Amino acid sequence: QKEVEQNSGPLSVPEGAIASLNCTYSDRGSQSFFWYRQYSGKSPELIMFIYSNGDKEDGRFTAQLNKASQYVSLLIRDSQPSDSATYLCAVNLRSNYQLIWGAGTKLIIKP
């Protein structure tokens, strides 16, 4: 069973702090890794993707991938109340183009 695991939260972070979201996956053949943000009542929105080990930065967001340990994380610097949402981790297997989805972590940024 190929799985993607996330802590469901809620994760509460004060405004201006760094929010750290984590995701582990079971299939070592996983090739591509995605972070989506979903506001309540809205559709998932792609915010970051990463393919190689290491860090990838985009504005206030940094995705970190460690294939040896099979985890991917998302850091949000200078957290804003507008970052409050559910963050979904998704993993693309080598064998096909399906994304395996985590259940999501609910993030709450407190002013």
Partner 1 sequence: DAGVIQSPRHEVTEMGQEVTLRCKPISGHDYLFWYRQTMMRGLELLIYFNNNVPIDDSGMPEDRFSAKMPNASFSTLKIQPSEPRDSAVYFCASSSLGQEQYFGPGTRLTVT
Among 13, 44, 87, 107, binds partner 1 (CB under 8 A): 44
Beta strands 32-38 and 85-92 are antiparallel
The residue (of 44 and 85) whose beta carbon lies closer to partner 1 is: 44
61 binds partner 1 (CB under 8 A): no
By the 8 A CB rule, do 19 and 75 touch?
yes
Q: Which positions touch partner 1 (CB under 8 A)? A: 32, 34, 42-46, 49, 88, 90, 92, 96-99, 101, 103-104
